[in-house]
Structure formats: C-alpha cells, structure tokens
Amino acid sequence: MSPEEFIRRHTRLQHPPLVPEVSLYLADDIMRLWELLGDESDGDNPGIPFWGSAWVGGQALARYIIEHPDEVAGKSVFDLATGSGLCAIAASRTGAASVTAADIDTLATCAAQLNAAANAAAIDVHRRDMLALPPPEVDVILAGDVCYEEEMSRQILPWLREARRLGVHVLIGDPGRHYFPREIMSPLGAYDVPTTWEVEGVEIKRTGVYTLGGTDDQDGRH
C-alpha cells in the first residue's frame, strides 16, 4: 500500500479544535493508527504516526500565526518536523512569501503534502533530516511541539539557537513538555487547547507560544 493510500484509508479530513479553519487528514483513533503502522514499519517508516494527530503545541503555534500574520506575512518560512504540516499550512494561508517544511518520516511528508493540497496551501515538503544540516536561510523557523523527548530536544535546541544566531526568527509552540527549556524562551502567547485524556491526560491543555530568548551561552538542557 502506498503512503497516500494508507493515509486516505485510515484517516479522514478533520478540523483541529483550535484551528478550525484548517482541514487535516487525522486519525479518529490515534492508538489504532499506531498499531496499524507498527506492522509496516521500516527504515523509511518509523512506525510512529506523529502526523496523524494535531498535537497541542502545533495547534497553539498555528493559532498564534493566524492571529499574528505579521510574524510570517511576506517572509520565507520553514517548518521543522512538520508532521501533519499544520503550522506550515497556517503560515501559507497567512501570507508567507514561501513555505518549506521537512520531516524524516515518509508518511509525514506525504500527509503534509495531502494536507497542503486540501487547504490550497503552497508548501514545498521535503523528507530530510534537517538537524544534520545547517539551519536553512529563511526569515522564520516554526517548531511545533518538538520537546517531547530527551534525545530529540538535545539535538533540536542547539540547532534552533544556531538559527537564531544567524538572524532567523524562531517560533515554538509547547505545552510545557519536560524537556522544554522554558528558561531560555520568551513567551509570546498562550492558548487553552482542547485535547483528550488519551493524548494529554487532560481535556484542556494550556499551551504556550515562544520565541528563543535569553542568552546564547545556555545549553538549553535540563
């Protein structure tokens, strides 16, 4: 089964609760989707459907972009670990001059492309490990909900700090994940994101939007 067939068969177009103006191919039952994927995992498909749910950090960041179009309008934007492509779509719909997005997962890049098409958003999606490369030469980098795992946070945060050092405006959405270094972030806004007990252990998750602040000599690790 091709990635597109898999996504169309096991998900349906839905509206993330905090970003209802966007439609995404999302799973009704993310655990069931995870089980289905596990049977087909390989090098190109890690078997984890991060793209099948609109995580609260991504929703908050997308909402913030839509409510603050000046952050991206007329600018070149890159969405890191794009997953469903929600943040990239929000940037495209809000007037970004160009939007690129990347993920290491074949299914995620396919889902992001399908979602971009469903929202008539012009997004250039790549399957690429961006953390192995220098930060792209863009005006804005988006990172929705990327600090949920220790190792990933350890890799991403220096990369984002390097981007900031190069003059890139970095926007991050995060619900207070354990590995999120809040002490080096400047808050821009916060949203109460509807979610489920299954996904977050609560029905409403307060989720912040931040830009990298503080000093560059902090390593950002807990």
Partner 1 sequence: MNVVVCVKQVPDTTARKEFLPDNRINRAAVENVINPFDEYAIEEALRLKESQGGSVTILTMGPPSAEDSIRKALAMGADSGVLVTDPALEGSDAWSTALVLSRALARLDYDLVMTGMESTDARTGLVPAALAEQLKLASLTYASRVEIADGKVRVNRQIPGGYQEVEAVYPAVVSVVKGVNEPRYPSLKGIMAAKRKEIQKLGFSDLDLPADSAGKTGEKAKAVEVTPRPEKPAGEVIRPDSPEAAAGAIADFLQAHKFI
Q: What residues make contact with partner 1 under the rule CB under 8 A?
A: 30, 34, 38, 46-50, 53, 55, 145, 148-150, 152, 175, 177-178, 198-201, 222
Cβ proximity to partner 1: between 137 and 219 the closer is 219
Q: How far is the CB of 43 from partner 1 (least distance, A)?
A: 13
In the chain, where does DSSP find H-type helix? 3-10, 30-38, 56-67, 86-93, 106-118, 150-165, 197-200
Nearer to partner 1, 12 or 222 (CB): 222
- Closer CB to partner 1, residue 73 or residue 199? 199
Separation CA 69–CA 94 (nearest Å): 6
CB of 178 to partner 1, least distance (A): 6
Q: Between 59 and 100, whose beta carbon lies closer to partner 1?
A: 59
b/e per residue, 56-87, with b = 16+ CB within 10 A?
bbbbbbbbbbbeeeebbeebbbbbbbbbbbbb
Q: How far apart are CA 131 and CA 35, in angstroms?
A: 28
3-state SS class at 47: coil
Q: Output 186 or 196, the one with its CB closest to partner 1.
A: 196
Using DSSP bridges, classify how beta strands 12-14 and 76-80 pair: parallel, antiparallel or unpaired: unpaired
